[in-house]
Structure 1
Amino acid sequence: MAEAHQAVAFQFTITPEGIDLQLSYQALNQIYLSGVRSWKKRVSRLRNRVIKGVYPASPSSWLFVVIAILATMYMRSDPSMGLITKIQQHLPLSTQGTMTRMTSGQTMLSVLVFSTLLWLSLILALRFCLKLLLSYHQWMFEQHGRVSNTTKVWVTLLRLLSSRKPLLYSYQTSLPILPVPAIKETLSRYLESVRPLLTDPGYKRMTELANQFESNLGNRLQRYLKLKALWATNYVSDWWEEYIYLRSRGPIMVNSNYYGMDFLYVTPTALQAARAGNTITALLLYRRKVNREELKPSRVPGTVIPLCAAQCERMFNTTRTPGVETDVLQHWQDSEFVAVYHKGRFFRLWVYTAGRLLSPREIEHQIQRILDDPSPPQPGEEKLGALTAGDRVPWSQMRKQYFSSGINKRSLDSIERAAFFVTLDDEEQGMRGEDPAGNLDRYAKSILHGKCYDRWFDKSFSIVIYKNGKSGLNAEHSWADAPTVAHLWEVDAFQLGYSEDGHCKGEVDRSLPLPQRLVWDIPSEAQVCSSLAVAQALADDVDCHVFPFRDFGKGRIKKLKISPDAFIQISLQLAYYRDRGGFCLTYEASMTRLFREGRTETVRSCSNESCAFVKALEDGEEAEQCRHLFRLASERHQNLYRMAMTGAGIDRHLFCLYVVSKYLGVDSPFLKEVLSEPWRLSTSQTPVQQMELFDLKNYPDFISLGGGFGPVADDGYGVSYIIVGEDMINFHVSSKYSCSQTVSFQSIRQGCVTVRSFIHSFIHSFIHSFILKPQSM
């Protein structure tokens, strides 16, 4: 085979005439180029460490300081106030040369030492000032158009310190540490959040539990938590990752992993291999930017305020490996191949040759080779991916028993160490045919779980390329949250372009070695079948509905001077009330990336104000009164969101107090009840972050569908939405067939509430009634 010959750098044979040495110059050249590429990466990483280590200053500023000190010394002025002389006295004397040369050299060396120390001190001072500026969050609570003088000065200073072009991680050490809220304030906000959900006796009982917790155990737990906050970079994130994600022993498919969909209207090419070629190339180019830290740091939209970029570090070459008690995230520095699945076969596809990234056309050529490969799956290979879809303990045991050595380990390493996972799906998906709405629903379900064995759910993310050129993404949740993955999924793959016949652009080196089939030896398929049965039952129970709402979008909502997110959240409260006849604990994800290593916080969207509005509307109160209550509910929601973003949330604090109590071996009836409350309405907004890539004025057809996730509670809904441009909102709603109160669309004839009617109750009853008269708001 060609690849086998290229792998041999030299051969030698012993003959009567001596040793006959045969060198393969092509192989040696590839080894040389690979080594050069590796050293370039090391030099680039070292350079980036220096640049971000001195930010907001620059390495060249050292030279400026040295020249300035030398200039003042030349003018017979000592800016060091005698420190240079003291440094000179402690330098070792040279025994060579004249006394004059010796004194001159010592003086120059003393100046360099003093200048360097002064430069480092200035850097520390600048970074301290930047950290103080980034710790100011009052700007978020000011009304639009009414900016205080303090905030104006703050913005000016922040712009000055951020004027240099930063690298991806330049702000990391300058970001503030997430503060631990006062326990009294957290309990007060908690009781306020559950007031509309409890009866008077229930609320009184919960108040007594909270007061008892605060006066006894709470303060003790709080002291331990503050001690951790002094020591750790973030007092929440490591425990959140460990106990919420990695210690979960149930399936991560549907329950944890989430999905992203392709463009709604546009399919750049109908050729599966070509779409895969450009998508893989775009993702690898994105990885190159991450490795070189060339990506711009994410910022709060419309501001210069940076967000934590720590989640980008494990984006590629990362896998969640199963364990008996807890899983582990494994990350490798680099990988020159991707893992590919097609019709039950696994392949390792090398994406670099001779130190260069393959062109999109070459990757398309390699993908086409996989598609044309007629070989059947090996015994036990086709449904092997079901192990990652089922319960974690059986997968851990199976991995230890059959995948810890030999060919199985080598093949599994090829998947786990791959940059990411690619599925070449043999189905067609998208909004097409005579039932576009139903096809969108099936499209979402396909990306969420597929056939339960044709995705590798442990990978940081897997991309799915369908037979008709549509694509999708399935992401594992423990390593990062949706905004980070959304930024990745927004890569401009379509800008790489296609030829007129739908192929990728570029030339093809047809001497490239074939993609390598992974070899397996699976002695027993019993556990694979068992995991598949668990996963299939879970997948069959999930109903997904994708609903593009085109009547209007954030443009018209903003004319009401109302936050679009608050508008949608209050609408969902009304929809749920009409669906179930009451209110429920509502989860809305909010980021805490204003702080170092921040992840998420919960916005409890069901508030006293939102409930008052819904009840007034349902009771037929006058329109003006309803509008007044709606505005109060909107303002309250915005305030809750801001508090969550600025570290004054409720749920992460209570969660960490609960973890401390478990470490101390003490039980708290209050914390136990709080953390057992079900989130029957779990919601999240998918942000469009790279607006320059999705300019709907110039590219009106490139509308992102966003993504979604499975329901958190068995008797609840999962709602994700993406606000696209000024005139469109896309919704993703999920529920479970097994719940009689959230029955799927297929049972509409029986008069049951459906996922589709859940959304329609929000759209047709509420939004239109308020949008018709925006001037009255």
Structure 2
Amino acid sequence: MSGFRASTSGIAEYIDAHHEEEVLHLVWESGLNSWKHRFAQFKRKVQNGVYPAHLESLLVITVLVMAFHFSSTKVPYDLINTVIWLLPSNLIDWQILLCVMVAFIIWLVICITLRYTLKFLLMYKGYMFETRGKGVSLTTRVWGILVKLLLKWNSPALYSFQGSLPRLPVPSVKDTVDRYLKSVRPIYDDETFENVKKEAVEFENGISTKLQRYLVLKSWWADNFYSDWWEEYAYLKSREPLMYGSNYYGSDTIDPPSNNQAARAGNLVHLMLKFREKISHQVLPPIMLQGMVPLCSSQYERLFNTVRVPGIESDKIVHYEDTKHIVVIHKGCYYKVIVFFGDRILNPSELQYQFQEILELKPTASETEENLASLTAWNRTKWAEVRDKFFSSGINKNSLDAIETAAFVLSLDDEPYNYNLDSSPTEYGQYGKQLLVGNGRNRWFDKSFNLCVGSNGRTGIHGEHTWADASVVAHLLEDCVCEDYASYDEHGRLRDPMILKRKTFRKLQWDLENTELKESVKMAHENALNIINDIDHQIIVHKQFGKGFIKTCRLSPDAFIQMALQLAYYRDFGKFSLTYEASTTRLYREGRTETVRSCTIESSNWVKSMEDPNVTKEERIRLLKEACNKHQTGYLDSMTGKGIDRHLFCFYIISKYLELNSPFLDRIFNEPWRLTTSQTPMGQTPKTDLNKFPQLVSASGGFGPVAYDGYAVSYIIVRDDLIFFHVSSKKSCSVTDTDRFSNQIVTAMDDIKKLFEK
């Protein structure tokens, strides 16, 4: 109550010190700004709704209609003179109104025609399957001309294409089952495979018809037939800790522009808030494949001000309207930092001042407060129970609300992030591990992302996976890091002047004296430490060759690396296993990811040839090219609605709702993914030009394995001479070893290279 009295007396003093007219002016300005914002939002929605037509074209058409009418120019289908006799009067006012109405109808027809023409054109995916170097088909040429003509009409906003993107088609049951059987042939012996085939036939001839009917119905009704279920059942219903099993990280550039922690944090926070502003105003350009084909932008909506809230049986994603604060975690304390002055984002130097003040504080945090974030690294049900019991009222609720409504969380770590291109895989991997899990208590794992800044100014990002795929956060980090370089002088100091020099932060307060709460936090932290100590993580800097050499082999760089991973895994385990490579379905509305099953009949044949000394080099090359072509086709299939796993995933969900038993589906969802892989996209912003700015080279990011006895491998093909691999497994597993597998990857890459050496 004393805090409330202090705040109200401050308000009274403020009112007494200002004239009534000034207060009314402030109220007027606030209301006016609110209505301006609403109008801008409405205008953007209308502009997106009529794209690729211009909103302004309505005025042009209205003027033309009036000109033709009042000049008595004869036009075909003269709608105005046809219906003018219906008007109550022939006065000029009524004629103008009729002209406006006719113009609006004409404009609406044009808008709808252009919109559906674009949607029809975006359904075409034949261009993706055309072989490079063999010319372009006539169909694709005509398609390309038409798309370019439509796009020239208007510059798109971030969400302009959302209404024009096609819906993801539901594959046929037969195609999906056939693809599945081919994908598992290398991992099963003959007897087991025959049993799988029998189960598949029984499924295809049995309940699949009913399941497919429901799924097709859903595809007509929903924007995407699987994305909402994928979010709910693959993520939100999982009770496992987020820290290592679900979340991921993204890394800084090799040569950051400043080693000042507060300065780097200030500039990146400013740039990220500017990025949020671009999303809000929809001035962020949508990502376009080949400059012509848009990717779905819906995932950007929840990039900021978003949190995963734990539940007893299922979590939920909560997104808030644009907030004006972030939360900083430092030395076990939490600070709410206001990052706006009025409607202006604090500039980098002003933010640096806030963060420097926080860094210089010597707060006293209890052990429970220091370990508080470990609750977000705990089992989701346990965290939900603690949250409901101890954080649903009072100062704990207020402080938790501040964190959950924040634009994002900034972690100012006490430790430096040490790495360079000459770092050993273990040394570089320690940096990745710092970003992924920290010390178990300096990341708020529920937030959409945490910006992490080490004591030496190097940075990185920790992302929660439910609300969007990693490519969206990668876009944010890539854009901000590119802009970051121009903001410092030669000494690593920020260039912009400080205008506002006063504290805009306050320390969040907690009531953590309850014995049960203390014990829960202690248990959560111990669990987090157990997870951290079990992580075996390395980052390989592969400098022997990159995409330059791979292209001389006339092979897809991604397929080349996937084949190297197949060879490495076979040498490591002596057998094949299901391999997951993530691809995107964002060519369709509300698209997320689809699985590319990299272990194929063709890849296994090639791997066996590499281990057979009697097979010639020429035969190995032939088999490698077959395997790479098969992989590339599978990748494109997964992007264009011909994937396997999301279709079967939806069947599994529907079968559980309908209480229909299927040994075939049960088998599929009990098969472990022992090799989980992903390629990080690069160049999502045109600012990333590594030829001009080699300092922008980044190792990108990584994640943990899905299966206990599996590996996780993330990679990025950076330059003609550089590839990064992020390799992870669990120390407690007796059959996996990250160092051993990393060496197998390097050896496999080298062995493939030797095939093409003369």
Query: Under TM normalisation by the shorter chain, which class is it?
Result: over 0.9
Aligned to 2:206: 216
Deviation at 1:79, TM superposition (A): 4.1
Q: CA separation of 1:277/1:12 partners in 2, compared to 1, >3 Å: closer, same or farther? A: closer
**Helix, strand or coil at the partner of 2:167:** coil
Contact 1:545–1:755, Cα closer than 8 Å, also in 2: no
Q: Does 1:373 align with 2:367?
A: no
Please tell me the residue identity of whatever aligns with 1:760. Answer: V
Q: After alignment, is 111-120 or 149-158 more displaced?
A: 111-120
* 1:212-247 deviations in Å (ceiling 9; x for gaps): 001111111100111111111100000000000011
Contact 1:318–1:330, Cα closer than 8 Å, also in 2: yes
Please tell me the residue identity of whatever aligns with 1:358. Answer: L
Aligned to 2:66: 70
Distance 1:33 1:739 in 2: 63
Deviation at 1:80, TM superposition (A): 6.7
Aligned to 2:733: 739
Question: 1:363-762 residue pairs with structure 2 within 5 A?
Answer: 363-378=351-366, 380-431=368-419, 436-490=424-478, 491=480, 492-509=482-499, 511-522=501-512, 523=514, 524-620=517-613, 621-690=615-684, 692-745=686-739, 754-762=740-748
Which of 361, 365, 387 does residue 349 from structure 2 map onto? 361
Please tell me the residue identity of whatever aligns with 1:714. Answer: Y
Aligned to 1:749: none
Aligned to 1:274: 263
**Helix, strand or coil at the partner of 2:327:** strand
Which of 148, 151, 156 does residue 145 from structure 2 map onto? 156
RMSD (Å), alpha carbons: 2.3
Please tell me the residue identity of whatever aligns with 1:337. Answer: H
Please tell me the residue identity of whatever aligns with 1:740. Answer: S
Q: CA separation of 1:316/1:430 partners in 2, compared to 1, >3 Å: closer, same or farther? A: same
Which of 740, 743, 768 does residue 753 from structure 2 map onto? 768
Contact 1:274–1:503, Cα closer than 8 Å, also in 2: yes
Q: Does 1:119 align with 2:115?
A: no
- Unpaired stretches in structure 2, ≥5 consecutive residues: none
Q: CA separation of 1:329/1:119 partners in 2, compared to 1, >3 Å: closer, same or farther? A: same
Please tell me the residue identity of whatever aligns with 1:263. Answer: T
Deviation at 1:68, TM superposition (A): 2.3
Deviation at 1:107, TM superposition (A): 1.7
Deviation at 1:55, TM superposition (A): 0.5
Deviation at 1:63, TM superposition (A): 1.6
Aligned to 1:294: 283
Q: After alignment, is 62-71 or 419-428 more displaced?
A: 62-71
**Helix, strand or coil at the partner of 2:91:** helix
**Helix, strand or coil at the partner of 1:253:** helix
Contact 2:339–2:504, Cα closer than 8 Å, also in 1: no
Contact 2:545–2:722, Cα closer than 8 Å, also in 1: yes
Aligned to 2:136: 147
Contact 2:728–2:738, Cα closer than 8 Å, also in 1: no
TM-score, L = length of structure 2: 0.95
Deviation at 1:171, TM superposition (A): 0.3
Deviation at 1:64, TM superposition (A): 1.8
Q: Does 1:188 align with 2:178?
A: yes
**Helix, strand or coil at the partner of 1:587:** strand
Distance 2:533 2:283 in 1: 43
**Helix, strand or coil at the partner of 1:584:** coil
Q: Does 1:11 align with 2:7?
A: no
**Helix, strand or coil at the partner of 1:381:** helix
Deviation at 1:3, TM superposition (A): 13
Question: 1:241-252 residue pairs with structure 2 within 5 A?
Answer: 241-252=231-242
Q: Give the fraction of aligned pairs with identical amino acids, expressed as a percent.
A: 43
* 1:84-142 deviations in Å (ceiling 9; x for gaps): 24654555x4xxxxx6xx53222221111111011111111111100000000111111
Distance 1:515 1:734 in 2: 38
Contact 1:11–1:21, Cα closer than 8 Å, also in 2: yes
Contact 1:277–1:504, Cα closer than 8 Å, also in 2: no
Distance 1:442 1:494 in 2: 24
Please tell me the residue identity of whatever aligns with 1:582. Answer: K
Aligned to 1:748: none
Distance 1:385 1:67 in 2: 62
Q: Does 1:173 align with 2:166?
A: no
Q: CA separation of 1:431/1:771 partners in 2, compared to 1, >3 Å: closer, same or farther? A: farther
- Unpaired stretches in structure 1, ≥5 consecutive residues: 14-19, 94-98, 746-753
Contact 1:578–1:761, Cα closer than 8 Å, also in 2: no
Please tell me the residue identity of whatever aligns with 1:331. Answer: H
* 1:490-539 deviations in Å (ceiling 9; x for gaps): 02242341134422222224542341100100123111111222222122
Deviation at 1:250, TM superposition (A): 1.0
* 1:370-422 deviations in Å (ceiling 9; x for gaps): 00111211562111100100100111111111111111111001100000001
Aligned to 2:37: 41
Q: CA separation of 1:88/1:539 partners in 2, compared to 1, >3 Å: closer, same or farther? A: farther
Distance 1:206 1:67 in 2: 68
Deviation at 1:616, TM superposition (A): 1.0
Please tell me the residue identity of whatever aligns with 1:273. Answer: A
Contact 2:247–2:462, Cα closer than 8 Å, also in 1: yes
Please tell me the residue identity of whatever aligns with 1:46. Answer: F
Distance 2:421 2:123 in 1: 53
Contact 2:542–2:746, Cα closer than 8 Å, also in 1: no
Aligned to 1:52: 48
* 1:343-370 deviations in Å (ceiling 9; x for gaps): 0100001110122111100000000010
Distance 2:174 2:690 in 1: 47
